[in-house]
Structure 1
Amino acid sequence: MEDHGSTYLQLFVDETCLFNRIVLGSLLPTKIWDPLPHFFQTWLRNYIGGVLVYFISGFLWCFYIYYWKRNVYVPKDAIPSNKAMLLQIYVSMKAMPWYTALPTISEYMVENGWTKCFPRISDVGWLPYILYLVIYVIIVEFGIYWMHRELHDIKPLYKHLHATHHIYNKQNTLSPFAGLAFHPLDGILQAVPHVTALFLVPTHFMTHILLLFIEGIWTANIHDCIHGNLWPVMGAGYHTIHHTTYRHNYGHYTIWMDWIFGTLRNPLDEESKDI
């Protein structure tokens, strides 16, 4: 049984080693990263991946909405200044080494068998995989909602952590680059539900890693001030209201937690009030 267990855990290690070779081997000379311990190779891979996701998604989205489709989605006087976006990049880059420590630690816990992760979908089958994924997302939605809400309600947490993000509180200061412009501990706390879920529900390892990095793309999207009006998605229209009222729309991917706990404010209702 012990040999079987160690062989099973080795599947996770083999997968993370493959990810490390793909990313680090493609971008860095072998002599720089190969001598590093496995944990630090994983952190370096996550750091490089996080930086790439942040800049690629941010630049592409800014180019599309501020230049290619200029004045289509965002009025000219509402486009954030280059100075504001550079400040957001600066804050994000200071925090990025710490953000990427979280998936590195979660991978370490998975590799050591501390979680309920499984390496292959065939280990459980497609139907259970989908069911587990739904439960995982519900846990993350619930956890991020309450973590975000408490970062507002507990005043010392807001003052010393979350206020860093809320200096961007108007349409002409919010941009896709604000998506990761948090105090490092704030950003980590809001991502912790992803790791907590690993101990509560069987989770496909690769899916967990993908969902963590999708966060980088998602946070860019919800800070562009464009209301996509796609129910039940908690899009940028909802999140812009959060940045202006501070008391509504704490949710993550969907509006459900705000609806359940009475903090939902619809951007279409706000538009009708302004008419």
Structure 2
Amino acid sequence: MAAAHGVGPNLFVQEADWYNEILLGAVVPGDWWRGMPHPMRSWLRNTVGGFLLYFLTGFLWCFVIYYWKRHAYIPKDSIPSIEAMKKQIIVASKAMVVYCALPVVSEHMIESGWTRCYFHVSEVGWPMYFVYLALYLIFVEFGIYWMHRELHDIKPLYKYLHATHHIYNKENTLSPFAGLAFHPIDGVLQAVPHVFALFFVPAHFRTHTALMFLEVIWTSNIHDCIHGKVWPVMGAGYHTIHHTTYRHNYGHYTVWMDWMFGTLREPEDILKKD
């Protein structure tokens, strides 16, 4: 399938190279990386950017909720230990190099013209941009819900992949750093709907790229145990329940899929039983 609306893939390559120049040129010493093949440069950029986002988000949010505003957000006995957070960082860091290969694959498919990705918003217009964005997010929400649910329901997948993440099953073990503490294949599987969506829904390239990296921030947010109570957002209150019951709240951005498929459990339900 050619790139949407006849836009040649070279624009996508140029955009990816621009991202590489901005990030790698600012962070990586020397210019040795410029001699790497294009996919390797993109992988290096994703890895550097992923680590920066992970650590900046994690350390900043931990500082706010565990030290600066600790009495306002989380009871003292629910603050995870430094040792627990170190282990989460180690697991996430080992997996990061694999996670960051997935955006390289999606970029290659986009650059090759295999997807329905488009480059300029003007190609579809702003009204259709928002329609397509909504469809993209619905597709991703549906895909991540079922991928996550099957990682629980299919026992070998849970035992050998997803169980790595579920050792964090109490408020005093969950932290923003747990957000990416997965077996690397598990993390990739749960992000794959972002890539599959490109074959079915016209997607704006920059928006798709931004959403892939915003996953780092989002997963940190839903593992901090602070319930924002913004319906229908799948806040940390819902996701903490998932880590304690294992059978509820599989959704990603919202609670809609859990509501539709009968796996929703409200934080208020826990409070009532307590």
Task: Report TM bin, short chain.
Answer: over 0.9
Please report the RMSD computed on the Cα atoms of aligned residues, expressed in angstroms: 1.2
Partner of 1:118: 118
Cα distance in 2 for partners of 1:129, 1:113 equals: 19
Aligned to 1:13: 13
Q: Deviation digits for residues 225-249 of structure 1, max 9, x if unmatched?
A: 1111110000000000000000000
- Residue-by-residue CA offset, 1:173-202 (whole Å, 9 max, x unaligned): 000000000000000000000000000010
Question: For residues 142 and 236 of structure 1, what CA distance do their matches in structure 2 show?
Answer: 19
CA distance in 1, matches of 2:139, 2:28: 37
Change (3 A) 1:256 1:30: same
Q: Distance in 2 between matches of 1:169 and 1:264?
A: 18
What TM-score, normalized by structure 2, do the two folds share? 0.97
Aligned: 1:74 with 2:74: yes
Question: After the TM superposition, which segments of 4 or more aligned residues of structure 1 sit over 4 Å from their partners?
Answer: none
Map 1:30-179 → 2, pairs under 5 A: 30-179=30-179
SS at match of 1:169: coil
Rate the CA distance shift 1:115–1:78 in 2: closer, same or farther, 3 A: same
Q: Percent identity?
A: 67
1:268 aligns with 2:265: no
> Residue by residue, what CA displacement relative to the aligned partner does 1:187-228 show, whole Å, maximum 9, x if unpaired?
000000000000001000000000011110000000011111
- Alignment partners' CA distance in 1, 2:143 and 2:28: 36
CA distance in 2, matches of 1:205, 1:72: 40
Distance 1:38 1:82 in 2: 39
Do 2:25 and 2:31's aligned partners in 1 also have CA atoms closer than 8 Å? no
User: How far 1:273 sits from its partner (Å)?
Assistant: 1.8
State the 1:45 CA deviation.
0.3
Q: Which secondary structure does the structure 1 equivalent of 2:166 belong to? A: helix
User: Contact 2:7/2:119 (CA < 8 Å) preserved in 1?
Assistant: no
In 2, the alpha carbon distance for the partners of 1:198 and 1:14 equals 19
Give the distance between the partners of 1:142 and 1:53, measured in 2 at CA. Answer: 26
2:87 maps to amino acid: L
Deviation, structure 1 residue 71: 2.1
Secondary structure, counterpart of 1:203 in structure 2: coil
1:104 partner amino acid: V
Q: Structure 1: how far apart are the matches of 2:118 and 2:216?
A: 24
Deviations 1:112-165 (A, max 9, x none): 001000011111110111000000000000000000000000000000000000
Deviation of 1:7 (Å): 6.8
Q: Which runs of 5+ in 1 are unaligned?
A: none
Deviation at 1:15, TM superposition (A): 0.4
| Residue type of the alignment partner of 2:130 | I
Distance in 1, matches of 2:178 and 2:243, equals 11
Distance, in Å, in 1 between the alignment partners of 2:133 and 2:100 is 22
**2:203 pairs with 1:193:** no
Q: What is the DSSP-based 3-state SS (H/G/I as helix, E as strand, rest coil) of the residue aligned with 2:15?
A: helix
Instruction: Using the TM superposition, give the Cα deviation of residue 91 of structure 1 relative to its aligned residue in structure 2, in angstroms.
Output: 0.0
Give the aligned residue type for 1:260: M
> Could you tell me how far apart the structure 2 residues matched to 1:168 and 1:71 are?
22
Distance 1:53 1:242 in 2: 25
Deviations 1:70-123 (A, max 9, x none): 221111111000000000000000000000000011001100001000011111
